[in-house]
Structure 1
Amino acid sequence: MVYDPKLAAALSGATLRQLSHWRNTGARRGAVLIPEVSSRRPVLYSFRDVVALRTCVKLRNDASLQKIRRALDTLRDDLKEREHLSSYKLVADAGTIYLAAPDQAVDLVQKKGNVVIHQMVDVLQPFYRDGRHIPSLLQPRPHVTVDPAVRGGVPVIEGTRVPYNEVAALLRDGVPAERISDYYPSVTATAALDAADFAEYVDSYDPDPPRESREAAAG
């Protein structure tokens, strides 16, 4: 499964502008994360990319982009860590960023390589970013789940292989939630409503319409 920028943004909490900026290899200190599937149009992210993006979004709650880039430089250049960014647990606290392990952490910014004690933070759990609730990555809605082993990670109705967006599309076409089971017997009305709610959340990451369209709508 691959994720287009909009779905990657919705599952990670990053904005589309941030995704574009973070994959910019022309940045002074290099890209934060280059999609491992495709970095050129169509831009496509992997599940591991989405996990890494959630890490970056959580770090931005407490650290500047400059500090994040500095931490990544330390991780890659000084510590010689070359695995995918999703392989590492990075947390920000008290003006620095740590590479965290269950019982200790390494300061990547202020005291490079200094081992300290730090509490682990689970990047897969829900969190808030700029007032927006970013859902659990593996269960973004009560009846919608994300599992890399099921359809490669596309969000599906819990306990099924039915993609959330196919169910949401039926509701948008006017099919009542109670009748979704006529099309997908394993999908309950409650699950269908959760799929529609998640689809609306994903659509909230659509970029703003062009200025001309906004002005036309206003006129």
Structure 2
Amino acid sequence: MSFPVNLVCTLTGATPGQLAAWRKGPNPLLAPEVSGRPRALYSFRDVVALRTVASLRKEIPLQRIRRAFLSLQDMDLTDHPSRYTLTTDGTSVFLLEGDRATDLVMSPQQQVLVSLDDVFKPFKNWKGEQVVDFLNPRPRLEVRETRMGGWPTIRGTRVAYGTIANLVKDGDVPAEFVGEYFPTVRPSDVADAVDFDRQVESVRRRA
């Protein structure tokens, strides 16, 4: 499953300009696993890693985040960045391993009590904009890596949010009749799918 820029921005809190800057140059912060040209397409792992970066970015300068990513390479930790739990105290970036934390910027060992769950919760990005809950971008939508490759779906189903949004977008199918096409989808599901789709599309218009 590949994620286009506008959906990545909505799920991570990063802007299109930030994503472009982070994937370019001789040492990109995070290059898309799926495709960089002609159109950037990201993997689910990329989205998780970018959400971590955006969450850290609201607290500390980007150069410290870059330093932390370079430290991972120096420590021979070469898995995809999404496999590591990173957090910040507002000054440095820490790699969490069990109940220990390694300071990736300053290098001392410290203890912290933050997990990746904090990154998945709603937060305000560096521009002060509210970023959606990652696992539930709307009350009736959810993101699960093992379902549709992490693409947002109607809760408890394999129905993609966009499938429902596109069905009612032009007014051809009223929300109350969607259940005739998708019996597991309720009107409240439709409302959340349409609302989330509008947010995703608004990123495309601003880009």
The question of a shared fold, defined as TM-score above 0.5 by the shorter chain, is answered with: yes
1:1-219 equivalence runs, <5 A: 1-26=1-26, 30-77=27-74, 79-110=75-106, 112=107, 114-121=108-115, 122=117, 123-129=119-125, 130-174=127-171, 175-208=173-206
Identical columns (%): 42
TM-score (norm. length: structure 2)? 0.92
Q: Which runs of 5+ in 1 are unaligned?
A: 210-219
| Cα deviation, residue 90, structure 1 | 1.0
Q: SS of the residue aligned with 1:206?
A: helix
Instruction: Name the counterpart of 1:217.
Output: none
Deviations 1:22-78 (A, max 9, x none): 01133xxx211011111222221100000000000011011111111111111212x
RMSD of equivalent CA atoms:
1.5
SS of corresponding position for 1:205: helix
Following TM superposition, where does structure 1 have runs of at least 4 consecutive aligned residues deviating by more than 4 angstroms? none
CA distance in 2, matches of 1:45, 1:4: 7
Find the aligned partners of 1:187 and 1:46 in 2 and give their Cα distance. Answer: 27
Q: CA deviation at 1:207?
A: 4.6
Larger Rg over CA atoms? 1
Matched length: 203
Q: Which runs of 5+ in 2 are unaligned?
A: none
Aligned equivalents of 2:188 and 2:155: distance in 1?
A: 11
CA contact (8 A) 1:90 1:99 kept: yes
- After superposition, the C-alpha distances for 1:80-116 in whole angstroms (9 at most, x for unaligned) are 2101000111112141111123412111112x2x210
